[in-house]
Amino acid sequence: MNNNREWFYKASFDKANRSSIFGKRGVGLEESKEIFYDFKKAFPGAKLTTDVHESFQVRELVELVDCIQIPAFLCRQTDLITECAKYFQTINIKKGQWISPENIIHSVSKIKQINPNANVWLTERGTQFGYSKLLVDFGSLSLLCKSFDRVILDCTHSTQYVTNEGFTVGDSILAEKYFLASSIFGYHGVFAEVHIDPENAISDSTCQIHLNRIEHLIEKYDAIYASL
């Protein structure tokens, strides 16, 4: 990121990979299409991204979404990846927690076979350490940059770990540090999940950054960037 940065608003119409069948999933594709349309109309310069879980959903989002995202749990799903390549020029793959940098680059070739000129991004969301903890491997960035057009650091979900009771929690303070570290290590962008009231968020409440912290973090980010 720098003074020429692009801003994308990420919104999910369905979170189909919740741990529990009772987990909140979203308003669904049809209602979200109307919301996306209204958003684009109200904010003409804004860009949208959303994740997609099934191949039939991809075509429905053309003209509404600027960047389509492959969820981490589906980052090797060939049919879904190639369908996105047919209809979208910019595709963001979230790296699965269990998959190595050397392995995830194969997903790029699947896209390029269908759309050689596609702009393929990767979002780093941590690597699984044991069964229950995520760590960010900053050293893998140079390798990933050889295959992906942009590599983005997900500073919030990368802080997650599983408690002894089986609940997924995170660390918003660490998320802020990752936000700033993305500048030092040279990521092309940063993803941050923010909320006006994180404690009462439906999901990921412990790793979300409070909305009123973002302006301060961006100022610090820019100061770090300028000093490098």
Q: For the whole model, what pTM was predicted? A: 0.93
Residue 218 has pLDDT above 50, yes or no: yes
Residue 8 has pLDDT above 80, yes or no: yes
Q: How far apart are CA 96 and CA 109, in angstroms?
A: 17
User: Tokens 């680059």 belong to which residue?
Assistant: 105
Q: What is the pLDDT of residue 3?
A: 56
Q: What are phi and psi of 29, to 5 degrees?
A: -65, -50
Q: How far is CA 51 from the centre of its chain?
A: 8
Domains in the chain, start-ordered, CATH in brackets?
8-227 (3.20.20.70)
Q: What is the mean pLDDT of residues 203-226?
A: 96
Residue 2 has pLDDT above 70, yes or no: no
Q: What is the mean pLDDT of residues 221-225?
A: 95
For 13-64, write each residue's pLDDT tens digit: 988 887 778 888 889 999 999 999 999 999 988 899 999 999 999 999 999 9
For 83-115, write each residue's pLDDT tens digit: 999 999 999 999 999 999 999 999 999 999 999
Q: What is the pLDDT of residue 66?
A: 97
Q: What is the pLDDT of residue 24?
A: 80
Q: What is the pLDDT of residue 136?
A: 97
For 166-197, write each residue's pLDDT tens digit: 889 999 999 999 999 999 999 999 999 999 99
Q: How far apart are CA 106 and CA 12, in angstroms?
A: 25
Q: What is the pLDDT of residue 77?
A: 97
Contact yes or no for 161/168 (Cβ under 8 A): yes
Q: What is the pLDDT of residue 1?
A: 46
Q: What is the mean pLDDT of residues 114-118?
A: 98
Q: How far is CA 192 from the centre of its chain?
A: 8
User: Tokens 């936000």 belong to which residue?
Assistant: 179
Residue 206 to residues 28, 86, 146, 181, 196, Cα–Cα distance (Å):
25, 37, 33, 20, 13
Q: What is the pLDDT of residue 20?
A: 79
For 128-143, write each residue's pLDDT tens digit: 999 999 999 999 999 9
